Amino acid sequence: MSSAEHHDPRLAQKEAAGRHAATYVEDGMRVGLGTGSTVHWTIVALGERRLDIACTATSTQTEQLARSLGLQVVPPDDLGRLDVGIDGADEVDPDFNLTKGGGGALTREKIVGQMCERWIVVVDEHKLVDQLGDFGTPLEILPFAPGVVASRVEALGASSVSIRPGGSDNGNLLADARFGLIDDPRGLAASLDAIPGVVEHGIFLGEMVERVVVAGDGGVHELVNDR
């Protein structure tokens, strides 16, 4: 029994899913490493396997973990294209749209995700939702005029925009917008993209996602996107 299993079944589920996702990585690949408690176990598994891979990381936290386990981590510009990326999510809807950014790494996660030929998302089953929105929509915004930006986000229908303490690895502010349940993730994503000062938002559209590895009480299963 692992230490995770001994203390908390949900932690054990996350470990199982994270380790399963690591099986998609093979020797010689260029790999994007995401951020979060489930992907943590993907990175641990990759460190144990001692593969000859080149990685890029979506956060300082992930980079430090990967390096501590002996993985080669280089800037994304050194790789350009990635064979596979593995990342977590805060919400996953039936169309594979995601809410991401609870950990504050959304901008780097979106850049790295779009570099990937195959992008695999790993979550526990509690992250599966009928509609995005309950979690809130994370934002990374410039510190230049946060009040102006927030008012424009509220004009799109957000009931509130709250600035988090601390900032992103990029030196910007992090915020959470509350839209309630989101009927049109694609439309809202486009509207947020159009606001000057919004560096990035936490809506990741489903066409990015190849599959979702889901951990639950019945073990690990996959949802495959036949996009």
Q: Are 174 and 163 in contact (CB under 8 A)?
A: yes
Query: What's 15-78 look like in SS3?
Result: HHHHHHHHCCCCCCCEEEECCCCCHHHHHHHHHHHCCCCEEEECCHHHHHHHHHCCCEECCHHH
Catalytically annotated residues: 109
Q: Say how far apart CA 20 and CA 42 lie, in whole Å.
A: 8
Tell me how crowded residue 47 is: count the other CB atoms within 10 A of its CB. Answer: 17
